[in-house]
A and B are shown apart, each in its own frame.
Chain A
């Protein structure tokens, strides 16, 4: 396959996944922000979502005050935020257009439909009302589902598919890691105890963001415990967006590529290395070193893999 096509497919998958994640992160923060003040929230949810989505610097540069309306606008539609949902969708569509021939009709139409919907929403007014916004976030999540399902059900299992999948899981692993970090950034008020009610709501909002609330109860059959939430999102292979599960998929798809090309390379070795480390890891290790530190170093390793892939496949 053309290297440029592989590159486009890989990034297309990443942008689609990122848009979905942003929509989920915004919904989670709204849930937290909606808690009554009696629960003692410090209203740091909006800073935390900026930090975890990597948009904090860009937002500061815009000079706007941090409040719900501003942050949401910035993360969804702001043209000046390169990581806004809007820009993700535009980038995804531009990539999709460039590799239209490598996509199935279902995949293209799901992106194009969402894009047209966004354009229609934008053409109606500058700031969409809360209801429209909520609907838009749903559309984005739906689109990601349709796109993903379309890929799963209609694409030939060849390099186009494998590059797409690798892109998707690298982005998803990054997003899950960032989501865990949200908790680090949402500061508990000093008098609040870890494991108290605010803490409980914060962890549960994170789980809901990735539709894992029910899964948690099925796996652990106990009330919300921070280390169990982290365990679920990091080490549980049966949890489809846990770090270990993402890496299992990355290794498998990179191996498929290597088999088709008849050549293992540095990206296969690196991915296997990260996967191996996750397999040996326990939650005690994670919390001893600090969750935040673990997450940061994981994100770096994950980015390193992305670089190695583009070097190996000449993107």
Chain B
């Protein structure tokens, strides 16, 4: 690893003294024979495979379904740490929603010169179809996944906002289930905040934004591109937990601006669609005519106010990596508050000064495509080969507006259990924020993603990253003596 980067370990801190939230885990680890960890790892793998918790990998020849590596050691956050994070997340999503309602409406932030208009209007995720339209309760982002990292004790950074169809919540829930089966003794040692009410919260959120005619008893469905989609497991898992039908485009049709699903008893009216399918594929009459995944006429029904889509169409305009750099300003503009969560310092390559700096420091920076996701289209300078750096240099010069760059962050590490023993790996965190007509909710925790390879900073599951359970525990040590040497 780059020697300039000092590493913060969430268990050991920066100085090797066990941090308070990890005290019991650390003690337990010291007393636990390695064979027990090994056998629990095997059991965990077996459980995941039996339950069929898989994700599909596009283009991977032999296995279309893969297990995401799961690490059996929990990542622990203190209640006090979580409280800060939660407030910051809710603030952030409120700002995202205000911003989206504004850019598809009056455009005040553009007129105020806070965000450049061309950045909004030329953004491929900006949906002209939605210009001048209002969505129920002005909520565009009902479900957000905000990627969080930390570099030290002092606070959290937002790495990325996911405002379209963030996935991973099924892993958050299943990881907890598996942990509770494997480590009852660890749960007995800690007071871990429960997360299993997430599906109820999600359902309440979706119900709250139903069209008024549903009279408080809306028909809600979850729409999937189908079982070959990488997140299909999650789609079916969630539909199951919500108790709603899991539909594909072909199960739906539109007549007179009303959406129906085909059932064995004939057509049934649909009020709310939690769609896990991208804007482009929603309606062949409106977007890609070649897409068979969507429903012809869906947008007509949407604009007529007969169906609510969650997340709203065009929400992706806010989670663009270029827009990200303006988030602190966006928060201040709409809420009149200081941002509670920091952004990672970011260079906007569209600005010539920033571009010049980035081109000079490519070997130190992480360069990301503004519209990339899943860890594709990105350069990790300190780990990149010469040729790759040069390739990015050329791309940057050709289309600087397509890129942003960030310093290589010293992402915190957490211990994971390997065959060879316990070792630190870099992690991030994706908590899930729900925004309904009657408020915002975040279940305490989220999906911790782990770079399984030593020293790697890439935690994406499409790039071989793993996951672990995230615990928010009561600060039972408050008022106790400070921790001594571990």
Contact = CB atoms under 8 A, between A and B. Distances in A.
B263 A3 contact: yes
B120 interface: no
B230 interface: no
Contacts of A4: 248, 250-251, 262
B104 to A, nearest CB: 33
B265 interface: yes
Given A3-B251, A108-B52, A261 B261 contact: no
Nearest to A96: B52
Interface in A283-315: 313-314
Given A4-B251, A112-B52, A261 B245 contact: no
B50 A112 contact: yes
Interface string B219-232: 00000001100001
A261 B264 contact: yes
A94 interface: yes
A109 B49 CA distance: 10
A57 interface: no
A159 B265 CA distance: 10
A131 interface: no
B239 interface: yes
Given A4-B250, A4-B251, A116-B49, A101 B236 contact: yes
A2 B240 contact: no
Interface in A1-51: 1-6
A163 B240 CA distance: 19
Contacts of A159: 264
B103 interface: no
A2 B247 contact: yes
Contacts of A208: none
B246 interface: yes
A6 B264 contact: yes
Contacts of A6: 264
Contacts of A257: 264
A225 interface: no
Contacts of B251: 2-4
B122 to A, nearest CB: 39
Contact of B264 (A3, A98, A113, A116): A3
A109 B262 contact: no
Contacts of B52: 97, 100, 108, 112
Nearest to B221: A2
A79 B89 CA distance: 51
Contacts of A101: 236, 239-240, 245-246
A4 B52 CA distance: 22
A315 B247 CA distance: 14
A2 B262 contact: yes
Contact of A3 (B49, B226, B237, B262): B262
B265 A261 contact: yes
Contacts of B262: 2-4, 314
Contacts of A163: 264
Contacts of B237: 100
Interface in A251-280: 257, 261
A234 to B, nearest CB: 31
A2 B50 contact: no
Contacts of A109: 50-51
A116 B49 CA distance: 9
A100 B240 contact: yes
A21 B239 CA distance: 33
Nearest to B50: A109
Contacts of B245: 1-2, 5, 101
Instruction: Choose among A1, A159, A257 the residue with the greatest number of B CB atoms under 10 Å from its CB.
Output: A1
Nearest to A313: B264
Interface string A138-160: 00000000000000000000010
Interface in B42-59: 49-52
A180 to B, nearest CB: 33
A100 B222 CA distance: 14
Contacts of B250: 4
B239 A2 contact: no
Contacts of A313: 264
Interface in B262-289: 262-265
Contact of A2 (B49, B226, B236, B261): B261
Nearest to A7: B264
Nearest to B266: A314
Contacts of B236: 97, 100-101
Contact of B263 (A1, A94, A97): A1
B486 to A, nearest CB: 41
Contacts of B232: 97
Nearest to B261: A2
Interface string A83-103: 000000000001001101100
B190 to A, nearest CB: 27
B255 to A, nearest CB: 15
Instruction: Choose among B49, B52, B239, B247 the residue with the greatest number of A CB atoms under 10 Å from its CB.
Output: B52
A257 B264 CA distance: 10
Interface string B236-260: 1101100001111011000000000
Contacts of A1: 245, 263-265
Contacts of A116: 49-50
Contacts of A3: 251, 262-264
Nearest to B245: A2
B169 to A, nearest CB: 16
Instruction: Choose among B51, B232, B240, B265 the residue with the greatest number of A CB atoms under 10 Å from its CB.
Output: B265
A89 to B, nearest CB: 14
Nearest to B252: A2
A210 to B, nearest CB: 30
Contacts of B261: 2
A314 B261 CA distance: 12
A98 B246 CA distance: 9
A109 B232 CA distance: 17
A163 B263 CA distance: 13
A186 to B, nearest CB: 41
A97 B227 contact: yes
Contacts of A100: 52, 236-237, 240
Contacts of B240: 100-101
A108 B52 CA distance: 9
Contacts of A261: 264-265
A109 B52 CA distance: 8
Nearest to B237: A100
A314 B226 CA distance: 19
A98 B265 CA distance: 20
Nearest to A3: B262
10 contacts: A1-B245, A1-B263, A2-B245, A2-B262, A4-B251, A97-B227, A98-B227, A109-B50, A261-B264, A313-B264
Interface of A: 1-6, 94, 97-98, 100-101, 105, 108-109, 112-113, 116, 159, 163, 257, 261, 313-314
Given A97-B227, A98-B226, 15 more contacts: A1-B245, A2-B251, A2-B264, A4-B251, A97-B232, A101-B240, A101-B246, A105-B51, A108-B52, A109-B50, A112-B52, A113-B50, A116-B50, A257-B264, A313-B264
- What 4 A-B pairs are tightest by C-beta distance, nearest first? A101-B240, A100-B236, A313-B264, A3-B262
